Amino acid sequence: MKVLVSEPIAQKGLEKLTQEGAVVDVKTSLTRQELLDVIGEYDALIVRSNTKVNEDLYQKAARLKVVGRAGNGVDNIEMEGATRRGIIVVNTPESNVVSAAELTIGLLFATCRNIPQLHNRLKERVWDRAGLKGMELLGKTVGIVGLGRIGSLVATRLKSFGMNIIAYDPYISDSRFKNLGVERKNKLEELMAQCDILTVHTPKTEETYGMIGKEQFKAAKKGLTVINCARAGIINEEALMEAIKNNIVKRAGIDVLEGEPHATSPLLDYDNVIVTPHAGADTVEAQDNVGITVAQEVISALRGEMVPNA
Ligand code: MLT
């Protein structure tokens, strides 16, 4: 069982793979061409969100039986090509949801209280709060788009701050909404018109890509705070920048950028946009969970055993 790990995963995950008898190569700085040149030697590939697992790669991957996604979103993996070739794709949908929800809350506080801007001023030896008055969360309405695993963790946490929670998610049952104490909005525009803070928690799919765009910002309440710890493009970046310029959006906290990884997004030029480099799952706990889970799943798939997240 030869396994290529093309992006960093936790040591515990690597240990699990070797304990189970796999030969593991960790090669996290391969160029695309180098990856294509070596992939033919491997039975399994473990990736995070940066490696594009697509037709180019499948064509070179004669031995490949399993792709392990160390994380949740599988938008960097072409499923159809994998299925056609009988390559199993496994992911770890539960392993990092708490960390993603916690970073969402962190960005929400950081944006609403201008924490990074205040921090930067003081570090520059300037004691000055002028122009950086924050917003309290108590009594405000948060609009959650996507009330799945992460969205519902965010909802329960924000309830404890005395916020009203509304959500848009056509795939979640009324009883789930009721149990979470969240009010359902059947139209995205209705949610936009009512929320003070918008946070998105959907996977990136054809249906969700660009779902928050010009039209939705037109419907938004003025002074909106926007948080995206899910995937770039669910909120159209151009439309977001326009909404900031038009004072519809007052502040944003963004963990995901179009075309990442890179540090050249025009969003970085806005003082009222707080950014992190796709760090939602970057905690010791989440990475240990993800690493161990993906290792176990890859081994099971290579052995032809049942795999829970295939
Ligand atoms: C995920 O999809 O699990 C997160 O975005 C974290 C990651 O990509 O590693």
**Which tens digits make up the pLDDT trace of 33-88?**
999 999 999 999 999 999 999 999 999 999 999 999 999 999 999 999 999 999 99
Compute the average pLDDT of residues 104-116: 98
Q: Which of 278, 285, 309 to mutate to test the pocket of ligand 1 (most atoms within 8 A of CB)?
A: 278
Region of 259 (left: φ > 0; alpha: ψ -120 to 50; beta: rest) is left
Token duo for residue 135: 């917003």
Q: What's the pLDDT tens digit per position in 130-185?
A: 999 999 999 999 999 999 999 999 999 999 999 999 999 999 999 999 999 999 99
Confidence of residue 308 (pLDDT cuts 50, 70, 90): confident
pLDDT-above-70 percentage for the chain: 100
Helix (H) or strand (E) segment spanning residue 55: helix 55-60
Catalytic one of 7, 231, 237, 251: 231
Q: Is 95 in the pocket of ligand 1 (CB under 6 A)?
A: no
Structural contact between residues 67 and 307, judged by C-beta atoms closer than 8 angstroms: no
Confidence category of residue 275, pLDDT binned at 50, 70, 90? very high
What local confidence, expressed as pLDDT, does residue 309 receive?
A: 83
> Residues 209, 210, 216, 221: is their CA dihedral positive or negative?
positive
Confirm whether 78 is a catalytic residue. Answer: no
Say how far apart CA 110 and CA 131 lie, in whole Å: 15
Where in the chain are all domains bearing CATH 3.40.50.720? 2-95+284-302, 97-275
User: For 200-217, how does the pLDDT look when each residue is reduced to its tens digit (9 = 90+)?
Assistant: 999 999 999 999 999 999
CATH of 2-95+284-302, one of 3.40.50.720, 3.30.70.100, 3.40.50.2000, 1.20.1250.20: 3.40.50.720
Place of tokens 């796709």: 278
207 is catalytic: no
Indicate if the alpha-carbon torsion angle 179, 184, 186, 187 is positive or negative.
negative
- For residues 3 and 257, give the distance between their C-alpha atoms in angstroms, rounded to a whole number: 29
Q: What are phi and psi of 286, to 5 degrees?
A: -65, -45
Report the complex ipTM. 0.93
Q: How confident is the model at residue 117 (pLDDT cuts 50, 70, 90)?
A: very high
CB of residue 71 inside a 6 A radius of ligand 1: yes
- Nearest ligand 1 atom to the CA of 230 is 5
Ligand 1 centroid distance, CA of 73 (Å): 6
pTM of the model: 0.94
93 within 8 A of 71, measured Cβ to Cβ: no
Q: Does domain 97-275 have CATH number 3.40.50.720?
A: yes
What's the chain's length in residues?
310
Q: Indicate whether residue 74 lines ligand 1 (CB < 6 A).
A: no
Judge if the beta carbon of residue 228 lies within 6 A of ligand 1: no
Across the range 218-228, mean pLDDT stands at 98
260 among known catalytic residues = yes
Rounded to whole angstroms, the Cα distance separating 51 from 165 reads 35
CA of 189 to the centre of ligand 1 (A): 28
For CA atoms 53, 56, 61, 64, the dihedral sign is positive
For residue 306, what are the contacts with CB-CB under 8 A and spacing of at least 6?
A: 300
Residue 72 CA: which ligand 1 atom is closest?
A: 3
How far, in Å, CA of 59 to CA of 36, rounded? 9
Degrees to nearest 5, angle at CA 98 with 97 and 100? 65
